[in-house]
Amino acid sequence: MDFGLSEEQRMLQDSVTGYLAAHCELQVVRDAAESAEAQVPALAAGLMELGVTGILIPGEYGGVNMGGLEAALVAEALGYFAAPVAYVASSVMAPLALQRAGSPAQKEEWLPQLAAGECVAGVGVTEQIGRRQGDGVQASGGRLSGEALFVLDVDGADLFFLADQQGLLYVVAAADVEITRLRTIDRTRSVAAISMQDTPAQVLPGSSESPQALHECIAMGRVMLAADTLGAAQKMLDDSVAYAKERKQFERVIGSFQAVKHMCAEMAAELEPCRALVWYAAHAQSAVPADAQLMACQTKAHLAEVGRMVARTATEVHGGMGMTDLLGLHYWFKRIGVNRQLLGAPELVREEAAQVQGWC
C-alpha cells in the first residue's frame, strides 16, 4: 500500500516543471496570448523531447506508454505555468480515442505522428456533453455535416476527432473543414467551432460497437482539466503568499494581518486535499475502471469549485495589482475559469456522478 508518487513519477514531474520554469516565463505566456495562435512551437518541441506528446502512447508507436497519473502530473505542470501548448485534446484525448476505438491502420498512421509531435489533433465532443440548439454533427455515408462547437487544441491542428450525435467518433482532416476560432477569456489555449458540409470522415470503428471509448476519453479529459486547475491554483496561491510576505502597508507586511493570512490559509486548506483527489482520479482512469467515471466527474466538479475560490481569493490578496494586465495573474484566473466550463461545468458533471451511482 503506497498512496503517493513513485520515484519515476517524481522525476517526470521535476523534468517537466524544470523545463517549463526555464522556458515558459510570463513573457512567453503574454506573447502567446497577444498573438493569433495559442500554440508556441518551440515550447511544444521541447515538451515533445520530454515525452509529453507521447505520454499515453505505447512504445511500439513511439510513445512513452505511461498512465493517467503521469498524464495528470504533466497537466498540473502545464497549468502551473499557464503553458500555451496543445495537450488535453492532442496528447491525451485523441491518442486515447485512437487506442480504444481506432482500427489497426488508423493507429499505425496517427499514433506515431502524434507521439513525435508531427501532428496536432483537436478534439470536439460537445455533441455528447453539452449539445446546443441548432445544427449538430451528423454523419451520413461516411461524411460529416453540421457544426462542432468548442473543439479543443485547434491551433496548428492537422486532424480533428469529433463525436456525432450518436456518440460515434470520427476523424476529419483540418484542410477539409471550416474553422471559426472562438475567442475565450483564456488566450493560452485555442478553441474553435468546426463546420462541415459532406466532409469526408473516417469513423473509429470501435466507437460504433460501444460508447465506452468515448466515455473513457471524456473522463480522462476531465481529469486533465482538473489537474490543470490544480497547478494553476497552486501557482496563484504561491504568488499570493510571496506577495503577502513582501507587500507592506501600515508599516507591516500584509501577510502579518490575520485577514490576509487567513485568506492564504483558506486557499491552502481547500487546495491541498485536491492533490490527492486528482492523483487518485487519474490513477483510476488507468487502473481502477470501476471508479473511473465517478472519480472523473467528482474531481472535475470539485476542482472547478476550489479553483474558482482560489482564483478569486488570490486576486484579492494582490489588491488592485491583482486586476492588472501588468502583473499577469489574470492568465491563471482565466485558465481556471475556462477549465471549469470545458467538458462539463460542475452542476452538469455532478448530475452525471449521481447517475453513475444510481441516485437518479
Partner 1 sequence: MDLTYSEEYAAFRDEVRAFLAQHGHESPPPFQRGRPDAQAVAWQQKLIEHGYAARTIPKQYGGYGAAPDILQSHIITEEFARANARMGHNGDNRLVPTVLELGTEEQKAWLVPPSVRGEMNWCQGYSEPGSGSDLASLSTRAELDGDEWVINGQKIWTSGAQHADMMFCLVRTEPDAPKHNGISYLIFSMDTPGIDVRPLVTMTGEAIFNEVFFTDVRVPKEQIIGRRGEGWFVANNTLKHERGGLGDPNEAETRFNDIVGIMQRESIDGQRLIDNPVLRDRLLTLQGRMLAMKYNGMRVLSEYIKGQEPGMARWIVKLQGCELNHQMAAMAIDALGELGVLYDDSPHLRDEGRWQQRYMLDLGLIIGGGTAQIQKNMIGERALGLPKEPKLNTKQG
In the block, cell 453539452 appears at 130
Q: Rounded CA gap, 113 and 120, in Å? A: 8
Q: Rounded CA gap, 81 and 235, in Å? A: 8
Question: Which uninterrupted H or E stretch holds 120?
Answer: none
152 in Cβ contact with 220 (< 8 Å): no
- Exactly one of 257, 309, 312, 323 binds partner 1 (CB under 8 A); that residue is 257
- Exactly one of 60, 256, 319, 325 binds partner 1 (CB under 8 A); that residue is 256
Nearer to partner 1, 61 or 243 (CB): 243
Segment lying near partner 1 (by CB under 8 A), choices 83-91, 94-102, 253-261, 334-342:
253-261
- Exactly one of 264, 292, 310, 342 binds partner 1 (CB under 8 A); that residue is 264
- Exactly one of 108, 212, 252, 325 binds partner 1 (CB under 8 A); that residue is 252
- Exactly one of 273, 316, 319, 325 binds partner 1 (CB under 8 A); that residue is 273
In the bound complex, what is the minimum distance in angstroms from residue 301's beta carbon to partner 1?
5
In the block, cell 501548448 appears at 85
Is 353 near partner 1 (CB under 8 A)? Answer: yes
Is 13 near partner 1 (CB under 8 A)? Answer: no
Nearer to partner 1, 141 or 358 (CB): 358
In the bound complex, what is the minimum distance in angstroms from residue 197's beta carbon to partner 1?
39
Residue 237 is placed in which grid cell? 496561491
Is 253 near partner 1 (CB under 8 A)? Answer: yes
Cα→Cα distances 237→169, 271, 328, Å: 39, 9, 14
Encode 160-185 in three state secondary structure.
EEEECCCCCEEEEEHHHCEEEEECCC
Segment lying near partner 1 (by CB under 8 A), choices 52-60, 139-147, 259-267, 335-343:
259-267
Is 158 near partner 1 (CB under 8 A)? Answer: no
69 in Cβ contact with 279 (< 8 Å): yes
Is 279 near partner 1 (CB under 8 A)? Answer: yes
Binding to partner 1 by CB under 8 A, coded x per residue (else -) over 82-111, reads: ------------------------------
Concatenate the DSSP letters of all residues of 298-310 into one string.
HHHHHHHHHHHHH
Q: Rounded CA gap, 96 and 307, in Å? A: 26
Segment lying near partner 1 (by CB under 8 A), choices 37-45, 144-152, 180-188, 352-360:
352-360
Site for partner 1 in 171-230 (CB under 8 A): none
Q: Rounded CA gap, 152 and 307, in Å? A: 20
Which of 178, 167, 121 minimizes the C-alpha distance to 145?
178
- Region of 131 (left: φ > 0; alpha: ψ -120 to 50; beta: rest) is beta
Which of 291, 304, 286, 311 minimizes the C-alpha distance to 353?
291
In the bound complex, what is the minimum distance in angstroms from residue 104's beta carbon to partner 1?
31
- The partner residues of 146 in beta bridges, in order of sequence, read 196
Site for partner 1 in 289-328 (CB under 8 A): 295, 298-299, 301-302, 305
Q: Rounded CA gap, 127 and 187, in Å? A: 24
Q: Rounded CA gap, 129 and 162, in Å? A: 12
In the bound complex, what is the minimum distance in angstroms from residue 73's beta carbon to partner 1?
11
Is 276 near partner 1 (CB under 8 A)? Answer: yes
Binding site for partner 1 (CB under 8 A): 1-6, 69, 241, 244-245, 252-253, 255-258, 261-262, 264-266, 268-270, 272-277, 279-280, 283, 287-288, 295, 298-299, 301-302, 305, 346-347, 350-351, 353-354, 359-360
